[in-house]
Every structure is written in structure tokens, then in C-alpha cells.
Structure 1
Amino acid sequence: MNREEKKKATRENIIQSALKLFAEHGYSKTTIDQITTHAGVAKGTFFNYFDTKEEVLCDIQLTLATEEFSVLLNHPGPIIPLVREFLMDMCRRLPAERTLVLALIQTTLNNPKLLELEKTKNNPFKQMLSEVVSAAQSRGEITPAIPAHIIAEMAVQTYDGILLYWSKGLGDDKLSNQMAMTFELFFKGITP
């Protein structure tokens, strides 16, 4: 294994360890010490790849989203129901406490490195989402009157807006309900 492959494997090990611990203990109760212990790496190694626990969560969300959408491109049936299920799955992976989601948003907005990371990682995700939208357009599920890249951009803005709105204590008590209601309207707006 060369140096780049080893770095990639170490990063993935940290991410997988964090994901497992977030699922077992919850995001807020998981510490960087627990992540490094589970991953079998030194704390300094963690900080070679990530500045904060929030950065790991951001990376996990975008990685999962990109992987899931790449699978949707090859799905032979309707795409929109799968996108709906994907959104609900993303909600289930997020912390269930509004204050924690708000803290994650605030941390991202107040940390230039995290903000830049989110911008950088959002670009390949939006490209992948645009390809999914284009595939749905070719199957007649989404109107071709709006360019795929615009729909993808609006979908990301809607998702981020829902998270912010909900984290401020507004809307439905359950994030999944808020997400489902809002995206139901979103999908109706892009249906041919």
C-alpha cells in the first residue's frame, strides 16, 4: 500500500469509527477520544485529517449522499420514490435534538475551514444530484422545463433551509415530518 492509499484508508477508518460510535452513543455523547480509540489511531492522527468532530459529521453526510445517488443512477425503476427514501434516511442519521443541529450549523458558519469544506464537498454532490435529476427527467418523472442543475441547486438549498428552520424550533417537532412535508411540495413543483 502506497502512502496515498494508506492516508485514504486511515481517513476512512476514522470516519467509519465515528459513524459506528455516533450510531451507538449519539453524536453529542461521542468524543474525539472515543473515535481515536475505536479507530486505533493517535489523537494527533485524527487532527491530521479533521479539525473537529463536526467536520467528520459533514464528511460522513456528504459521502453517504454521493454514494447513494450514484446507485440511483443505475436503478431501472422510478427514481423519485428512492430520493424520498434517501431524504428520510439522511434525517434518521442526523442528531435528533434541534439544539445540536443548530450548534452544528453555527459551528460550520463560524469556522472558515468547515465552511470551505462544505462548499468544496457540495460541488461533486450537486453534480451527482444533477445527474439523478436528469435521469428522472428522461424518464418523465421531473419536468424538463427547468435545467437539472437548477433543480439540484434548489434541492440542496431546500434541504439546508429545512435544517435551519427546524433547528430554530420552528415547524414540526420531528425533523423527518418537516422534511417529508416540505419535499412533498418541492416534488409537486417539479412534476411534469
Structure 2
Amino acid sequence: MLRHERKKELKQKIFLTSIKLFKEYGYDNVTVDKIVSTCGIAKGTFFRYFPKKEHVLLHLGQTQNDLIMEVIQKQQEKNLKERLKLIFGEMFKVYEEHGELLQLTLSETIRAALKEESTNISKFHEVLTAVIDESIQSGLFQSHTEPKHIASVLVGIYFNSIMTWSIAGTNEDLKEIFHTQFEIVWKGIEAQ
């Protein structure tokens, strides 16, 4: 196994162990010492991957940026509307798999480091802007609205969907919440 893969696996192990401890004992009651002892690693190893405890929660946003790049590279869909829905659908899978993680991540992100998370949101916005612009440039999509503004609205719908789903509990379908809002907004984005 490559060294890079081992590092990636260790970071994921630290992340998942931390999340498990946060759920069990509460975020404020879990120390870095507790995390490293549970993982069986040195404190320095933890800090090599996560500069502060808060960065464990921010890791979810970073992994979503990696995921979106993988999804975009694998996609064959040419229709921009369907392409965007596929991108968002793949991103929602993370939350569907770890539903209770969402509430913890959102509350701690807001509380701890919105400045840090804003970098992930900016990257997400840039990627969506590029996807939309690419469709416009290739003639596959027409709109009277600039790609960066369309991307802003879509990022807003994405986070609104997640927050709505989080507040309602995991009983509602996250993708359905998003698709309902997406369809309403799409009518105003697409050129008639």
C-alpha cells in the first residue's frame, strides 16, 4: 500500500473515531488526549492531520470538495440541469450515511470556525461556477444570469436543504427537499 494511502486511512480513522467520541460524550467533553488514546496514536500525529479539535469537523467539508471533483470527472451527462442534480445527489450521500453527524458538524462549524469553513464553501462555489460556465461555453445551456450568480443560488439551496433536513430530523428525504427547491429555482435560471 502506498504511503499516501496509509496517511489518508489514518486521517479517516482519526476523523471517524473523533466523531464517535463526540456523539458518545458530547463535543465539549472530548479532549484531544481522549481522541489520541482511543486511536492509539501520539498527540503529534493528531496535530499533523488536524491543527485543532475543530478541524475534525471541518474535515467533512474538505472531503466533500474532493468528492465533487471525483463526481465531475466521472460524469458523462451533458444536460446541465441533470449534471448539477447528480453532483448534489452524490454530495448528499455523505449526509445520508452519517445523518446524526450533520447536526453536530453544522452546530460546531457555526460555533467554532466559519472563517475556516468559508474556504470550503468558496471552493464549492468556484467548482459549480466552472461547471455552469463550461455548459454555457459549449452551447449546452443558455441563461441570462451569470454563472457565478447561478452558483451562489445553488450553494444557498444546498445549505438550506441540509439545514431544513437537519431541523426536521432524518425522517425526510434530503435529496427530495433539495430537488423540490432546485426545480423552483431552475425555472428562473434557465433561459426561456
TM over 0.5: yes
Q: What displacement does 1:187 show? A: 2.7
Q: In the alignment, is the contact (CA less than 8 A) between 1:80 and 1:141 conserved in 2? A: no
Q: What displacement does 1:152 show? A: 1.0
**Residue deviations 1:58-114, cap 9 Å, x none?**
221122124433x27x857334323212211211111557654222111000002xx
TM-score (norm 1): 0.70
Aligned mate of 1:59, from 39, 44, 62: 62
Q: In the alignment, is the contact (CA less than 8 A) between 1:33 and 1:43 conserved in 2? A: yes
Please tell me the root mean square deviation across aligned C-alpha atoms, in Å: 3.6
Q: Which residue is 1:126 aligned to?
A: 125
Q: What displacement does 1:181 show? A: 1.8
Distance 2:91 2:7 in 1: 21
- Over 3 Å counting, the alpha-carbon distance change for 1:86 and 1:28 in structure 2 is farther
Tell which has more relative contact order, 1 or 2 (C-alpha 8 A, sep 6+). Answer: 1
Q: Which residue is 1:3 aligned to?
A: none
Q: How does 1:134-173 map to 2 (within 5 A)?
A: 134-169=133-168, 173=172
- Over 3 Å counting, the alpha-carbon distance change for 1:179 and 1:76 in structure 2 is closer
Q: In the alignment, is the contact (CA less than 8 A) between 2:143 and 2:190 conserved in 1? A: no
Distance 1:58 1:127 in 2: 14
Q: In the alignment, is the contact (CA less than 8 A) between 1:126 and 1:152 conserved in 2? A: yes
Structure 1: 5+ residue runs without aligned partners? Answer: 1-5
TM-score (norm 2): 0.70
Q: What displacement does 1:179 show? A: 1.8
Q: Which residue is 2:47 aligned to?
A: 47
Q: Aligned AA for 2:8?
A: E
Q: Aligned AA for 1:174?
A: D
Q: How does 1:61-140 map to 2 (within 5 A)?
A: 61-69=64-72, 71=73, 75=76, 77-95=78-96, 100-112=101-113, 115-140=114-139
- Over 3 Å counting, the alpha-carbon distance change for 1:172 and 1:149 in structure 2 is farther
Distance 1:154 1:35 in 2: 42
Structure 2: 5+ residue runs without aligned partners? Answer: 25-33
Task: Count residues in correspondence.
Answer: 174
Distance 1:45 1:162 in 2: 36
User: Is the partner of 1:168 in helix, strand or coil?
Assistant: helix
- Over 3 Å counting, the alpha-carbon distance change for 1:180 and 1:111 in structure 2 is same
Q: In the alignment, is the contact (CA less than 8 A) between 2:103 and 2:166 conserved in 1? A: yes
- Over 3 Å counting, the alpha-carbon distance change for 1:13 and 1:35 in structure 2 is farther
